[in-house]
Amino acid sequence: MTLENHEAWPTMTTTVTDKIRDRIERIVTTPSIPAVFLPLVDLLSGPAEEANLDEVVRLVSYDNAIAAQCLRVASSPLFGMVKPPKSIAAAVMTLGLQRVETIVLTSCMGEAFSREKWGIDPVAFWRHSLGCAMVSRKFSEKLAGVDGERAYMAGLLHDLGFLASSMAFPEEFAVAVERACREQIPLHEAEQATMGFTHCETGRALAEKWHLAKDILDVIAHHHAPTQAGSAGSLVALVHLSDELCRVRGLDYGYYERHKVDLISDPAWSILLQDHRDLEGVDLARFTFELDESAAKVGEMVSAIFGPVAA
Amino acid sequence: MTSGNPSVLAKPAVIKAGESIDPVFRQIRDIVYKACGIFQLDEKLYLLVDGCGRRMKQLGLTNSRDYWNLLTAQSSRDAELRHLLNELTIGETSLFRSQPQIDALRKVILPEIAGEKIKQITKRLRIWSAGCSTGEESYTLAMNMLEETEGLLKGWTIEILATDLNDRSVETAKAGVYGDYALRSTTDYFKRKYFTPLDGKKLQVQPEVKKLITFSRLNLQDDSKMLFMKGMDLIFCCNVLIYFDGPSKSKVINHFFSNLNFGGYFFLGTSESLLKLNDQFHLVHFPGAMAYWKPSLKSGKL
Ligand SMILES: C[S@@+](CC[C@H](N)C(=O)[O-])C[C@H]1O[C@@H](n2cnc3c(N)ncnc32)[C@H](O)[C@@H]1O
Ligand SMILES: [Fe+2]
Ligand SMILES: [Fe+2]
């Protein structure tokens, strides 16, 4: 299955697809976002050796709002810097690439869509997105030949569609969120029931508009139905499982989901197993306990991003 | 078992660092292990030594050899072993120990089980609280099931079997009287609805709740008795298997698997796991809680 992006919209009438595309097209973001965001995603999700600090600094400095946000987060006591960094270069040097990656991308996305318009609690959203990034990377460590950085990036961006929906369909999305919380059902089910499409479709339209790489786009589009993903099946399956795990280990969307997760019966598990026999050796209970320890760090990171501005 | 109990942990008085362990305690350890599956490693052996010490004091014995004789003589051994096990299995427990478990039970599992039994004429829910200690877990389950009798469980018969090795604990459980410490996570709503104040600061569980539960002594290592515990929908065995070694753990778990109905669930304590001791169970996740699921027949996942 190697369909082109524009051919692979499943079970969706062209009118709905067109409506989504049209609305996404009209989302107003800080103009520089795609210009900074795309090269950054490319740069940061490649093999670690190739990521060039200077290049990262250059890109970050390109946008004042993003640069300011990076400095603010980098000044958080969490990172143990004695004096707040004076320049992006200093921040990048002290923080190291992995943290910079997270800070830059979250700043980017935070700046791209004005906070007041988010239809979902930003703290919960970041906790979940960073959590899923962290779990995806952790998961990938158990599997030979999966690139951890790529997995991290895919996890971080998988729910981009929530932001897209908040901007493009604010009223409709608010209704879906309200219903999900009230009925304690998964958000994508509430979206499907009330809107007829989900953040997977809006996220996909935004990913197409921003020309995100095909595998990341596949994750954004199919992470709730991994059997429909084509070429990037393994990555989609991995992020799908990580997302499910996050939602039952406190890295959720901020409300109780009446939800039972049976990972080994999940089709995504079989997909992953086809390419990665070593998955059989993963002890899920132990993995869950390991994950809980890292979840605390995610919490700290999120409070650094949203915490009080350091003097 | 007593390692969960701070008052015991605080005074590992009997063995000091570098001091050698009286070999008789290693022999007693083997007796205890054979009887109930609890195996104290050398570094935890002081727990056993402390327990024996308390028994010796009660009996007015000063020599560990005398105690060994009492514990092995045909005329006294069964009774004394029981006393000793009572000393060794004083478990740390409280009501509402894990809210995520209760949420999973009421919000996800009960609707599922109710759905599966929808066609049955007599609707019955059987829960086993295995290693119930002084009853806190069992009453927590009972109260929460009563909360559902106006909804999901309307017209159902609810049976809770609560068992423990420690017969002193079982007696305490039957009385159902608890103080502030045991009730520290219990909300006023539950306190008011299901408890009656006793003189002093204690609260007693109301008869309506007790009616659901049958308390009895049962040793999880007693294979012939384990075979009789059939037809369970749910088994809670929380914070019990932690001191069992691999083989005794896996024996118990295999029993649990056959004790459960298809589609039934088995809960461990929140920080425990089976670590591959049984691959017929599916590890399943609920928000904040894990359980082991015996797949239902129609799900075809066995
Ligand atoms: C820490 S308590 C757990 C109480 C309760 N389940 C909870 O989680 O709050 C452990 C209990 O396991 C019981 N136990 C230990 N070995 C046992 C055995 N072989 N058979 C039955 N019960 C046993 C002890 O008597 C003790 O009451
Ligand atoms: Fe999603
Ligand atoms: Fe998600």
The verdict on residue B112 lying in a domain is yes
In this structure, the answer to whether residues B164 and B54 fall within a common structural domain is: no
Same domain, yes or no: A46 and A19: no
High-pLDDT (> 90) share of chain A, %: 35
Cβ distance B287 to A259 less than 8 Å, yes or no, reads yes
Name residue B90's amino acid.
I
Residues within 5 Å of ion ligand 2, judged at the Cβ atom: A 159
| Span A243-294, pLDDT tens digits | 999 999 999 999 999 999 999 899 999 999 988 888 888 888 889 999 988 8
Same domain as B59, residue B137: no
Residue A233 located in a structural domain: yes
Given a cut of 60, is residue B215 above it in pLDDT?
yes
Cα separation, A177 vs B146, in Å, equals 32
* CA B251 / ligand 3 centre spacing (Å): 39
* Helices (H) then strands (E): counts for chain A: 16, 0
Enter the ipTM.
0.84
Most confident of A85-94, A165-174, A208-217: A165-174
Residue where a domain stops, chosen among B38, B69, B88: B88
Asked if A166 and A18 sit in the same domain, the reply is: yes
CA B210 to CA B227: how far, in whole Å? Answer: 25
Is residue B208 very low, low, confident or very high in pLDDT (cuts 50, 70, 90)? very high
Phi, psi of A261 (to 5 degrees): -110, 120
CB contacts, 8 Å: A256 with chain B: 103, 107, 287
- CATH code assigned at A166: 1.10.3210.10
- Domain assignment present for residue A271? The answer is yes
Q: Say whether both B199 and B246 belong to one domain.
A: yes
For residues A74 and A97, give the distance between their C-alpha atoms in angstroms, rounded to a whole number. Answer: 12
pLDDT of residue A184: 97
Q: What distance, in Å, lies between the first and last C-alpha atoms of chain B?
A: 34
Mean residue pLDDT of chain B comes to: 90
Which of A79, A94, A112 is the endpoint of a domain? Answer: A112
CATH number at residue B80: 1.10.155.10
Ligand 1 atom at minimum distance from B219 CA = 20
Domain of B194: which CATH number? 3.40.50.150
User: What is the domain extent for residue B37?
Assistant: 23-88
Residue B186 to residues A60, B73, B192, Cα–Cα distance (Å): 51, 46, 10
**pLDDT score for A7:** 46
**Residues B11-44 pLDDT 10s:** 444 555 556 778 899 999 999 999 999 888 888 8
β-strand partners of B124: B157
CB atoms within 10 A of CB A281: 8
Burial of A123 (C-beta count, 10 Å sphere; 0-12/13-18/19+): middle
Burial class (CB in 10 A: 0-12, 13-18, 19+), A135: buried
Residues B235 and B118 reside in one and the same domain:
yes
Residue A78 lies in a domain: yes
* % helix, strand, coil for chain B, step of 5: 45, 20, 40
Measure A120 CA to ligand 3 centroid, in angstroms: 12
For residue A67, the enclosing domain spans 32-112
Q: Note whether A189 and A45 are same-domain residues.
A: no
**Residue B194: in which H helix or E strand, if any?**
helix B188-194
Q: Beta strands B289-293 and B282-286: pairing type?
A: antiparallel
CA–CA dist B271, B289 (Å, integer): 10
Judging contacts by C-beta atoms under 8 Å, the chain A residues touching residue B107 are: 184, 256, 258
- By C-alpha distance, the chain A residue nearest B276 is A283
Same domain, A55 and A80: yes
Query: Do B48 and B138 share a domain, yes or no?
Result: no
Ligand 1 atom closest to the CA of B85, numbered from 1:
25
Report the number of distinct structural domains present in chain A.
2
| Residues paired with B293 in a beta bridge | B265, B282
* Cβ A57 vs Cβ A71: under 8 Å: no
Domain identity same for A46 and A22: no
Domain presence at residue B108: yes
Please choose, from the candidates A239, A49, A227, A51, the residue with its C-alpha nearest in 3D space to the C-alpha of residue A138. A239
Residue B17 lies in a domain: no
Task: State residue B217 phi and psi, 5-degree precision.
Answer: -85, 130
Q: Is the CB of B36 under 6 A from ligand 1?
A: yes
Residue-wise DSSP of A5-43: GGG--TT--HHHHHHHHHHHHT----TTHHHHHHHHHHH
Task: Give the residue, out of B237, B240, B243, B245, with the most ligand 1 atoms within 8 A of its beta carbon, to mutate for a pocket test.
Answer: B240
CB A132 within 8 A of CB A156: yes
On whether both A203 and A230 belong to a single domain, the answer is yes
Of residues B1 and B71, more confidence is placed in B71
Mutate to test the pocket of ligand 1, among B32, B39, B98, B165 (most ligand atoms within 8 A of CB): B165
